[in-house]
């Protein structure tokens, strides 16, 4: 699961490469470490079909099933203490920390996953710019150290295939109910060198303009779902090990 990435290129470069006509926050400095629930630049389509870059919070809505279970567990603990529970309100206020990675877009029968289905259409697809991303070493030396990957040592700009949505939820109890715009990106089977360190999954990366255009087109899910695939073995390179941020200045 990718829960850390960096975007060290200028926003203007990302907007230009993704052909975003506007940017709502073009003065943001480089981000050597983007973590879950952080605001980060995302390119999406507006109602008129043009592309716009703006900051969204990393973490799509969690499944209703997961939130229901968490609220039920919380209710049981409160009842065990002799407290009365308004379960409807408890469920509404159950913290939703968000789902950063979108892996299972189809179920075992090959049908589109019911949870993700509403956001896989053209209106909710987006591009997430990055220069490197980290996966913990859980399969090689099992140190859990961050292994940073990029297309090469110069850390060129690239894009994850993402989805986004307006959302209302409680992310943190201390902040209460919030209305946000959330995003996440697709993951797929790992390819080398990611596979050596994190065999479970890697992000879906769109390296070609034609791939990005297809993802951002009006094509239905059945015509774009083949893009949820790993890069060829060797397409990525390890550029850093062990750090919590990748603050190298791209060449």
Gap between the Cα atoms of 224 and 35, Å rounded:
27
- The domain spans of the chain are 5-61+96-241
Looking at residue 1, what is its pLDDT?
73
Average pLDDT value for residue range 218-236: 96
Under the banding of pLDDT at 50, 70 and 90, the label for residue 235 is: very high
Which residue has 């990005």 as its token pair? 212
Contacts of 88 (CB under 8 A, 6+ apart): none
| pLDDT value at 108 more than 70 | no
Under the banding of pLDDT at 50, 70 and 90, the label for residue 111 is: confident
Average pLDDT value for residue range 117-135: 97
As given in the structure block, the two tokens for residue 118 are: 């509403």
Contact 60, 144 (CB under 8 A): no
Residues 57-75: b if buried by 16+ CB within 10 A, e if exposed: bbbbbbeeeebeebbeebb
User: Can you give the pTM of this predicted structure?
Assistant: 0.93
Question: Right CATH number for 5-61+96-241 from 3.90.1150.10, 3.40.190.290, 3.90.1680.20, 3.40.50.300?
Answer: 3.90.1680.20
Q: Tens digits of per-residue pLDDT, 60-98?
A: 999 888 888 988 998 989 899 988 888 998 888 899 999
Looking at residue 130, what is its pLDDT?
98
Gap between the Cα atoms of 54 and 21, Å rounded:
11
Strands (DSSP E) found in the chain: 5-7, 22-23, 31-34, 39-45, 51-58, 101-102, 125-130, 132-136, 146-150, 158-170, 177-188, 202-203, 205-206, 237-241
Average pLDDT value for residue range 145-162: 97
Phi and psi torsions of 162, nearest 5°:
-120, 170
Looking at residue 135, what is its pLDDT?
97
As given in the structure block, the two tokens for residue 83 are: 């407290």
Averaged confidence pLDDT in the chain? 93
């Amino acid at each position: 699961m990718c829960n850390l990435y960096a975007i060290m290129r200028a926003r203007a470069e990302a907007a230009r490469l993704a052909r975003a006509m506007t940017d709502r926050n073009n003065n943001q400095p480089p981000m050597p470490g983007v973590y879950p629930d952080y605001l980060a630049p995302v390119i999406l389509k507006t109602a008129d079909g043009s592309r716009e870059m703006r900051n969204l919070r990393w973490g799509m809505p969690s499944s209703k099933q997961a939130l229901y279970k968490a609220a039920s567990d919380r209710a049981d603990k409160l009842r065990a203490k002799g407290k009365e529970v308004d379960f409807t309100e408890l469920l509404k206020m159950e913290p939703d920390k968000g789902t950063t990675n979108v892996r299972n877009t189809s179920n075992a029968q090959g049908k589109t996953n019911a949870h993700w289905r509403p956001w896989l259409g053209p209106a909710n697809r987006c591009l997430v710019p990055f220069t490197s991303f980290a996966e913990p070493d859980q399969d090689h030396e099992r140190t859990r150290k961050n292994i940073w990957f990029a297309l090469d040592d110069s850390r060129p700009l690239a894009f994850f295939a993402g989805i986004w949505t307006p959302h209302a939820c409680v992310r943190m109890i201390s902040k209460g109910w919030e209305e946000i715009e959330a995003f996440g990106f697709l993951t797929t089977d790992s390819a080398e060198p990611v596979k050596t360190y994190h065999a479970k999954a890697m992000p879906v990366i769109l390296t070609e303009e034609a791939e990005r255009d297809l993802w951002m087109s009006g094509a239905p899910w059945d015509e774009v779902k083949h893009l949820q695939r790993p890069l060829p073995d060797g397409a990525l390179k390890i550029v850093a090990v062990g750090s919590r941020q990748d603050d190298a200045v791209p060449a």
